[in-house]
Amino acid sequence: MVPVGTCPPYFTFTAIDGLCFHDGGVLRRDAGVKYCARVGSGLILVSSANIEFFLESILDRVTPSYSGAKSAYIQGHWNSTHWLDYDGQELQYTNWEGGTNNPGPSRIYNIKIKQSSSGYYWNEATSGNDYVRHVFCGVILR
């Protein structure tokens, strides 16, 4: 059992909005979710611009995961009306390419952060079990 207010083993405290961070390597999304669960967390929740900038700085230093793209799976899924975190709460912070993202009522997607020519933006990860991307696990200390 991890004491309250401390990071799980193998995690680094970043001092950025209470984030404990762990690099899970390059995996398909489903394998990444399982890996993060095994180490006591979930995919990183990008809940603020500070965490986004931290994640971008990590991605700037990694090898592209496929097709020359620097990208990572992040926490969030579409429930047919809203983008939610693992606790079922609507995402308060987003950074969608183009400003907004609403795939419609019949689609269920996940999220990736991906480098583009003008910076990093969020996109739908529609084929998460087909592509490997970077997986970063995260816990927010409250």
* pLDDT tens, residue by residue, 81-137: 888 999 999 999 999 988 777 776 656 678 899 998 889 999 888 765 678 899 999
**Assigned domain for 9 exists:** no
Domain that includes residue 78, residue range? 14-140
CATH code of residue 24: 3.10.100.10
Which two three-digit tokens encode residue 92?
């308060």
The pLDDT tens digits for 1-44 are 455 678 999 999 998 999 999 999 999 999 999 999 999 999 99
Q: Does residue 61 form part of some domain? A: yes
- For 6, 46, 117, the CA distances from 111, given in Å and listed in that order, are 27, 11, 19
- 133-140 and 19-27 as β-strands: parallel, antiparallel, unpaired? antiparallel
Q: Is the dihedral of CA 24, 31, 35, 48 positive or negative?
A: positive
Q: What is the pLDDT of residue 142?
A: 78
pLDDT at residue 81, as a whole number: 81
Residue 4 forms part of a structural domain: no
> Is 121 inside a domain boundary?
yes
Number of domains in the chain: 1
Would you state the pLDDT for residue 131? 83
